[in-house]
Chains A and B, each alone.
Chain A
Amino acid sequence: MYGKGLLKGLGVTLKRFADTYLDDIKWMGKRYYTAEGLAHRSSKDAKGIFTVQYPEEKLPVPEEFRYVPFLVYDEGEDGEILNRCTACGICSKVCPPQCIWIERALDPKTQRPIQEPSQFIIDVDICMNCGLCAEFCPFDSIKMDHDYEIASYGRTVHHLDDLLKPASYYDEIRPVNSTREAAARKEAEEAKAAKKAAREAKAAARAAAKTD
């Protein structure tokens, strides 16, 4: 019959139309603006229209989600900022669009370079959010952020002050990664300490042998 395919297709749209309302009724008003409703609408069982009413409701971002980088700092005892960055420059070397500028600080007395940045600039307009800087940072210092609402009227260039965020913030947005990295750091530190202790013991033994 001519037109059968058309009717069949219209049946699909009718079903979709009905599904949305049936799902609404089934969820008794909780389909929208609730965390469970949102999870349901982005699951395999979602039925009908599953529009997310942004910005009133927002999809939770997964841990690996990456947006422009920031710098993690550890908090000292009285809120002192202990920047993890050592200004080694790996992130600026690995950056594909070359949007990172780092100036290594100089020791005020000796004018020798020290392991700290005096300036750190990320030109966010150029950044392509690839995440390579975070991937290759050996000090767990530069990390990708979750905050994606950074639209502005002007241009966005982040300097050191804009970039620094506390480690607690990092732990919060990336709990799995930060736990794993903390464990790895601890392990490395312990290995280093053990090595040092072994070396000292050896030296002491040698010294003892000499005096004998």
Chain B
Amino acid sequence: MTTLDFSRFGTSVAVDEREGYEGYLVSADKLVEFATALRDEYGYDYLSSVTGVDYIAEEKFEVVYHAYKTIGGAELVFKVQVARDKAEVPSLIDIYPGADFQEREAWDLLGIKFTGHPDLRRILLWEGFEGHPLRKDWQEAYYEEDIKPFKSRWPKAEYTRAEAQNPYGANVKYPDQFDPEKWVPEGEDALYGSLAKYETTDESGLKTDHLTVNLGPQHPSTHGVFRIAATLDGETIMNLKPVMGYLHRNHEKIGERNTYLQNMPFTDRLDYLSSLSNNFGYALAVEKLLNIEVPERAEYIRVIMAELTRIQNHLFAIGMFLNDLGAFFTPSLYAIEERELVLDIFEMVTGSRMMCNYFRFGGLARDLPAGSLQKIKDLVFDRLPRKTDEMDRFLSENEILRSRTVGQGYLSTEDAIKYASAGPVLRASGVPYDIRRAAPYSIYDRFDFNVAVRYNGDIYDRYIIRLDEIRESIKILQQAVEQIPEGEIQTGKPRYQMKVPAGEAYGRVEGPKGELGFYLVSDGKGNPYRYHVRAPSFINLTAFGPMCKGLKIADVVAVLGSIDIVLGETDR
């Protein structure tokens, strides 16, 4: 970890000296000042992740911030601790606007109030939800026990269905003296209120009212169940806010009940298009805690699988993006065909096409089966380069596509950094930031590849950069399949239950959609004390509103397609 001189803050900034922890503890009253200095003087211009942790035994909440320099390098971790009964932390939204959704998430799930946040509403759960579920003293409707494995499973099987114990109606908690007849959905009012209703009067005295329109939640262009609330002037977007959480399942609470290994298949279900990248990030975080190495061959297989994942994710993203533009299913089916061939490999190697569950701590579930390496070689040396070129020829110069996308949905370099955009969205705005290069993990430092970057920051660049990235991934794959050595694929004996040393760890990978981070806190037991996912699909949406201002409604769909979200990850 880099050591910086923060002596000017006196006792307000102290090194975090707890065993297994790193970074700095900042007192809440100096947080804004500290963050401003960090951004302006120390060069940490990118706030990647905001995580709330409930240390119930110490009667404290902690908010953990991970900041980077976009020129590369290790992260800087700083934390704020506040008393549990007075959970108020100053908001960093003015310094790092990318903290917007993440602070709302911490408020929603943990009940930490961010003073100065202009729109502190629930984000994943519905307004009117009682309680903050990630607090350690909160129990869900189908609560059985604090941690898995549950006792009723063995050696005496007491088989019941969860819903039999919690009949319909009894599984929702209501506030005291709740009366549905009198309930006013404050959240909805706040949402529309935050969009600012205008009324303008032109010279002739004609009054124009602005209209608020909901796009979704049931809408084919939203890639799932996702709502866009927009204020319109005619057909022009004046202001826009995404509304999400329809697919929320409290992944993080489930993760804190699970043992470390049990979380692995759950990570598949975050961004279900790129399960192997999710596995990768989670495995890295736990390996950091366990402090174990991964055998050489396993590293290669990991990289091969992660890059294949990137290729098939980008193919799908391009295909679905064209669907959003109205090119009804021809491009997307062309892309999906190639994706099928990659999924065939996943099925052969991992046992499942999408829910791969392949990575283990210190290695992999199993070695490559006979014949699979040849199949991968066939794809990366022959078919995929050919088909990527075909895709390029098919779409990139198409006048309709270009006129819909060039210069539209602009995100400037400064804004991309400011809003903590990640992955292709960030790089299409001219920031060559790729974790595989900026802070190499696994064996990415061994391969020769370029960080794809485009400079116009419009929808077209966000499309074309995905083709660039496919080409770079093919380059990495071609090297990896040639260099892959024989050998072990697992360090030590595979274990299903282990004690993990106390401490914290943050594992991050460059997922297909951007930086995917897993923040883990271990209390030395078999289950993670805190398990947080920095979901790129979720955080990339912070820039969605600003990108859409001034566009027409039809372009909103195109902008959303170009961000490439998967709601399994957005809503978690």
Contact = CB atoms under 8 A, between A and B. Distances in A.
Interface of A: 2-6, 8-9, 11-13, 16, 42-44, 46, 50, 61-66, 87, 89-90, 92-96, 98, 100-104, 113, 119-121, 123, 128-132, 135-136, 144, 176
Contacts of A12: 390, 393-394
Contacts, number: 140
A98 B149 contact: yes
B406 to A, nearest CB: 12
B239 to A, nearest CB: 35
Contacts of A66: 351-352
Is the contact region of chain A dominated by helix, strand, or loop, or is it mixed?
A: mixed
Contacts of A95: 149, 153, 262
Contact-size category for B = 35 or more
Nearest to B152: A101
Interface of B: 148-150, 152-159, 161, 258-259, 261-266, 268, 330, 334, 337, 340-341, 344, 347-352, 355, 357, 365-366, 369-370, 375, 378-379, 382-383, 390, 393-402, 494, 496-497
Nearest to A104: B155
Contact of B348 (A6, A64, A128, A136): A64
A63 B369 contact: yes
A50 to B, nearest CB: 7
Contacts of A92: 149, 153-154
A65 B157 contact: no
B366 A132 contact: no
Contact of B379 (A5, A44, A96): A44
A136 to B, nearest CB: 5
B157 A119 contact: yes
Nearest to A118: B157
A132 B155 contact: no
Given A5-B397, A6-B400, A132-B496, A98 B155 contact: no
B402 A129 contact: no
Contacts of A8: 393-394, 397-398
A123 B162 CA distance: 11
B352 A129 contact: yes
A135 B494 contact: yes
Contacts of B494: 135-136
B460 to A, nearest CB: 12
Nearest to B158: A101
A101 B159 contact: yes
Given A6-B399, A9-B393, A101-B154, A96 B348 contact: no
A5 B402 contact: yes
Nearest to B150: A98
Contacts of A43: 378
Contact of A93 (B337, B398, B497): B497
A176 B355 CA distance: 23
A62 B348 contact: yes
A15 to B, nearest CB: 9
Given A12-B394, A92-B149, A44 B154 contact: no
A50 B153 CA distance: 45
A96 B266 contact: yes
18 contacts: A2-B399, A5-B397, A6-B398, A13-B330, A65-B347, A92-B154, A93-B149, A93-B496, A95-B262, A98-B153, A101-B153, A101-B157, A101-B159, A102-B153, A102-B157, A104-B155, A121-B157, A176-B370
